[in-house]
């Protein structure tokens, strides 16, 4: 990576399993940092656990590469927030209870404290990321407490960024969000990326004092599958350019950097057209810090 010119990379600072999966994990050599049993979890400090993340952080430091470390996941991959919901709140709950249930917040903060205090003195740390792609819904559906204008997710961003800042006053903090907007514009009333249904309010979230920079992701084929087909007037490439521009404008309003953290297209021809255009547009905005 160093030889390729990589200066900052992003990786998961979480990897959780259920206690029932331990036997398989040991036999397969699976990496896991957190093991859930009942409403509690324990940290795996062993050779299949945080020692592996130690190695990643130490190797990055030796090669002068910085790391953005994400602290949990909106999705079930590698554990994620729904393990907290399942073990602490139980079945029958909605996805967004993660943001409001005090027991869940205490448990999440206990894990965050474990990771932040373990690595905050490393020269490799660039930023802490509260969650990958936080939304009102995930594999579980969202509930009535997390609707456009409720600020449920925004309040969580603010509270958790304040908590991380109390642990580490020196490193940057970001949301890890996809950059959804809450625009009260009739032309976006049915558009998930702009109408607040995702739970984020990018313009507001970026103003929080302990959110040092914003993040946004870009997957137009997935988000607009019904419009993105041969012969349609929808252009994934142009939509992506506009999405980048909207986030650059929001960044300038607040005076903070934002980064295009993830993007993707399927099909080689699509990638060779879209990726250079998107990367160039992101660079041209000059708001990446």
Q: Is 34 exposed, middle or buried (0-12, 13-18, 19+ CB in 10 A)?
A: buried
Question: For residue 69, what pLDDT is reported?
Answer: 99
Residue 38's pLDDT is 86
Residues 183 and 231 in one domain: no
Better pLDDT: 140 or 227: 140
**Quick check: 4 pLDDT over 90?**
no
pLDDT of residue 232: 85
CATH number for the domain spanning 31: value is 3.20.20.80
Residue 273 pLDDT more than 80?
A: yes
So what's the pLDDT on residue 2? 79
Q: Average of pLDDT values for 65-94?
A: 97
Looking at 21, 200, 261, 262, which residue is catalytic? Answer: 262
Q: Is residue 126 part of a domain?
A: yes
Catalytic residue among 133, 178, 200, 261: 133
Domain membership flag for residue 217: no
Of the listed ranges 5-14, 87-96, 231-240, 272-281, the one predicted with least confidence: 231-240
Going by pLDDT thresholds of 50, 70 and 90, the confidence category of residue 90 is very high
Residue 58 is a catalytic residue: no
Q: Which domain holds residue 246?
A: 225-289
Q: How far apart are CA 21 and CA 2, in angstroms?
A: 36
User: Are 39 and 169 in the same domain?
Assistant: yes
pTM higher than 0.75: yes
Q: Tell me if residue 82 is catalytic.
A: no
Q: What is the pLDDT of residue 93?
A: 97
Q: Is residue 166 part of a domain?
A: yes
- Same-domain status, 206 and 232: no
Vertex 192: Cα angle to 280 and 112 (nearest 5): 75
239 shares a domain with 103: no
> How confident is the model over 213-248, as pLDDT tens digits?
999 999 999 999 988 777 788 999 999 999 999 999
pLDDT at 20 over 80: yes
| 188 in the same domain as 70 | yes
Of all residues in the chain, the percent with pLDDT exceeding 70 is: 100
Per DSSP, what are the bridge partners of residue 4? none
pLDDT value, residue 260: 98
Does residue 70 share a domain with residue 204? yes
Question: Is 162 found in the same domain as 263?
Answer: no
283 domain-assigned: yes
* Residues 106 and 238 both lie in one domain: no
Q: Give the model's pLDDT for residue 24.
A: 97
Domain end among 212, 235, 257: 212
- Is 74 in the same domain as 174? yes
- Verify that 243 and 269 share a domain, yes or no: yes
In terms of domains, do 142 and 277 share one?
no
Residue where a domain terminates, one of 173, 190, 212: 212
Residue 94 has pLDDT above 90, yes or no: yes
Give the total number of structural domains in the chain: 2
Residue 218: inside a domain, yes or no?
no
DSSP-derived pairing of the beta strands 34-37 and 40-43: antiparallel
pLDDT at 9: 97
Q: Would residue 1 count as lying in a domain?
A: no
Same domain, 109 and 46: yes
Cα distance between residue 242 and residue 220, in whole Å: 11
**Domain termination site, one of 212, 247, 269:** 212
Q: Choose the weakest-confidence range: 129-143, 202-216, 218-232, 264-278.
A: 218-232
């Amino acid at each position: 990576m160093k030889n390729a010119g990589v200066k900052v990379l992003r990786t998961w600072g979480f990897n959780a399993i259920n206690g029932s999966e331990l036997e398989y994990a040991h036999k397969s050599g699976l990496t896991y940092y957190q093991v859930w049993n009942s409403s509690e979890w324990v940290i795996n400090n062993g050779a299949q656990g945080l020692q592996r993340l130690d190695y990643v952080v130490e190797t990055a430091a030796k090669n002068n590469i910085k790391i953005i470390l994400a602290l949990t996941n909106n999705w079930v991959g590698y554990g994620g927030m729904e393990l907290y919901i399942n073990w602490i709140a139980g079945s029958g709950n909605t996805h967004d209870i993660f943001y409001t249930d005090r027991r869940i917040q205490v448990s999440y903060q206990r894990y965050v404290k474990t990771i932040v205090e373990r690595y905050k003195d490393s020269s490799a740390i660039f930023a802490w990321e509260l969650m990958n792609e936080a939304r009102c819904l995930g594999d579980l559906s969202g509930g009535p407490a997390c609707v456009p204008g409720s600020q449920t997710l925004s309040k969580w961003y603010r509270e958790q960024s304040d908590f991380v800042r109390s642990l580490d006053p020196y490193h940057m903090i970001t949301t890890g969000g996809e950059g959804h907007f809450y625009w009260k514009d009739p032309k976006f009333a049915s558009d998930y990326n702009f109408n607040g249904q995702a739970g984020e309010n990018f313009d507001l979230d970026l103003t929080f004092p302990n959110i040092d920079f914003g993040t946004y992701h870009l997957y137009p084929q997935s988000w607009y599958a019904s419009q993105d087909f041969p012969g349609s007037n929808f252009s994934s490439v142009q939509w992506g350019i506009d999405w980048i521009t909207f986030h650059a404008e929001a960044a300038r309003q607040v005076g903070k950097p934002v980064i295009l953290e993830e993007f993707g297209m399927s099909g080689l021809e699509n990638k060779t057209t879209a990726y250079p255009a998107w990367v160039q547009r992101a660079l041209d905005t000059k708001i990446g810090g």
